[in-house]
Structure 1
């Protein structure tokens, strides 16, 4: 017959075994965590911030560009840095997809960040995590919110240009289209309106909105939802048949700062892109109350933005033994 002390010892041993197994399973699934690099590259956030601050000295747009880069990465096949891969014998780069080419930028800054991180912590930090950190730091340096970036992603060894061509929200999307694309990524209407607030800084080319200025939907007239004074300003910047690469501020009020003015602009019918103004239509829509709420409460917008960014950052990340840690963000190892 087993003694009480022996039974207790076996029970403790069994409990420890279950704990070890549980930890191994948790490690294999690779849950993201805020302190993922706490012991392997504790200075990674500082390194990323230093590189972005250097880039900002000559490029005030870079914060918005890095945020956009992270967004376009996550929406294609998850937050896996697939957007950073160049063309190769086996890869059709997502950089050349219609929503990305001549639009998404900041690749060289990511290269500089990666080089600095590799010097400090060789082979440890993924390009996907660098994108996530760069997005948060770029927003914060522009006066926007800070949020706890979850880390532990690994990098994809594949890209999907065709998916990039069909998945990304487009400047001429209707509200129905926008909702559908966000829903397909398990993001709701609140996430849609909140993350669209990223257009509180950055630029867009005339090519992406000039159809609203002259021949909206083939009518031969401007988009009737455009504020008439704003319309005239945009027509001067983007004359009919002019250079489609000319840049316009997404937020005409505070172009380089991250704040809630994007939403007050929508209330004045000063959304630059059709997809912006679709969030505040003339008819009833569930997005209107969210826009109104953010337009009068900067803290509410900031808090929600951080939450939606964390949610987006969790879109299908590669973790554990999936993917790899690229040594060069532009190519697989």
Structure 2
């Protein structure tokens, strides 16, 4: 009887609240900057070598990455199945699948393709979601903006929940990219499988505000992607370790209660994805050394 009760409880957690399952998967290390906690990100369309799925997986093995967040363009759609098969063969976890949509995701031709793909491969992962193309946002009140964005997010989140996946609101500038606005959307929808993916490479306007809002997004934070930021007018996005703002942000994240994965990206770093990932890993190691994070450093080869 007890075993049956435990089985029922586990079934309810998995099917009703997939975010809880996601959180459990992301707590495999005591140090968030440990090598095994890093996600490779922005390496599919941002790669001058145009690696195929097997070559990409081999590169990740070579560099020591065990997780990939998959970004793509239309030309990569025929490779979706091959990508997931290569990741499985090379023991790399699909941590997230990127998706961009407009105000009517029910008409998006690729959302059903992605959902079917994940379902066929029995993958419960995160969908890093960008929403754009909503007309006349500048004429709306704040509440109207929240409701306009919430509608497509709700549709995507409900479809994702049907296959046990979570949705991360992905900051990429504009109203949707403001953490405070994302928090309002989450509060309005109250869906258990919606969180936030925070990107330093789209945080040019957040440097001074970061210590104030970061604790507020922390309960909803699914992933943090690192990049270098050099103060100025405008702020410049640079490789990790070459800016003058990211080190303090990296320290704040470490000193918080965040225990999820950390993304290392290639976008805006180098044409070759392998070179870009290595540059940013080396930059992170430099900062970790300066901050005396010996626990994380000992995990790097």
Structure (1/2) with the larger strand percentage: 2
**For the pair shown, which has the larger CA radius of gyration, 1 or 2?**
1
Whose relative contact order is higher, 1 or 2, with alpha carbons under 8 Å and at least 6 apart? Answer: 1
